[in-house]
Amino acid sequence: MANNTTNRKLALRMPPDWEPPVPAWSSVFAENPQQISMCIIGCQHNSDAYISEFVGALNSLAKNADVCDFATCEDKDGFSQTIAIVYWLDAQACADWLNSDAFALFWELYSDEKWNFGIFREVFNVPFERLETLFSGPVHNHGFSQIRKDIEGPIDRHGYWGGMRDRIPLSAENAFEADQTLEMIEQQGNRVVVRAHENLCIIRSGQDWSHTTGSQREEYLGQIEPVLKAGMNFLRDQGDEVNCYSCRYMTQFVPFKGKQECTFGLAFFRTMSDLEAWSESHPTHVAIFNTFLEIAPKYGPDLQLQLWHEVSVLPAGSQYGEYINCSKRIGLLAGVKI
């Protein structure tokens, strides 16, 4: 995923003679991959709502996808959101899935108000030159990296402000700025469709503590996680202050088997610059960063906590969110005035 240092129009942000404080790795995919398709399919519901049938139907529907992760969270309006994040390496296969009779029947069935919950889908197609991945260990395997071919590292482009941007190949010539806003392109009753603007930035940043034991487990649950949760709640509840349209702090689960010791933040920022500004200077993220660096370096390669993220900067085009019977502050819809 590393971008070439030669023929760059925009300089790397990596300091001279940089040595990262902790090691990290990036995923490598099959030769010449074009893009990753990412579909977030979910429902917004009261915590006691009956959604088992919805989850079961969605689980069955996505069985042939390259990756399907289920997760749940509480949103800023006090509802729960339960989703599947479905990834496809073949864009045409993803399009065929979304246009299939099976998906159409699923969507029509659960859009009925009789279920007492809202449904939504957020569909993104991201060229590989516009994304990057980062892992705190070489064996960690989460998100769409579950279909990677190999791993690269330890890499040097991380651990400094700007490393995230430096790892995106197209950053060599594109500053990823935005001069547009999210646009509502369709509204029919309680159904709203929102189109993403150029260079919308998405981050899915995860934590897997299922392998931690003893003091490492205690430090994560007692010191790191509370600070992390506070930062995610800030983005969820007050994200408009830093141009974050939406943030979901989610717990993964396996349908009908239970929750996993894995969480992730899924956030939509207006631009990568806005994500960088929050990361570099906002007290909620500085606290997360400093807390981690107080703990992680002393374990080095023996760190049991698995940390990872995937970041993408979208081109305009076939990127949209569709919301039926949902509140007005969900997902991309939160960035549109209705």
Query: How far is the CA of 99 from the CAs of 91, 93, 102, 105, in angstroms?
Result: 12, 10, 8, 10
Q: Whole-angstrom Cα distance, residue 245 to residue 133?
A: 22
The kind and range of the H/E element at 280 are helix 272-281
Per the CB < 8 A criterion, the answer to whether 117 and 44 are in contact is yes
The kind and range of the H/E element at 188 are strand 183-188
Residue 81, beta-bridge partner list: 44, 73
Alpha carbon distance, N-terminus to C-terminus of the chain: 39
For residue 309, indicate whether it is catalytic: yes
Q: Whole-angstrom Cα distance, residue 257 to residue 225?
A: 24
Per the CB < 8 A criterion, the answer to whether 145 and 27 are in contact is yes
Q: Whole-angstrom Cα distance, residue 37 to residue 124?
A: 6
Per the CB < 8 A criterion, the answer to whether 286 and 218 are in contact is no
**Residue burial 112-147, b: 16+ Cβ < 10 Å; e: rest:** eeebebbbbbbbbbbbbbbbbbbbbbeebbbbbbeb
- Options 158, 197, 285, 309, the catalytic residue: 309
Q: Hey, which residues are catalytic here? A: 309
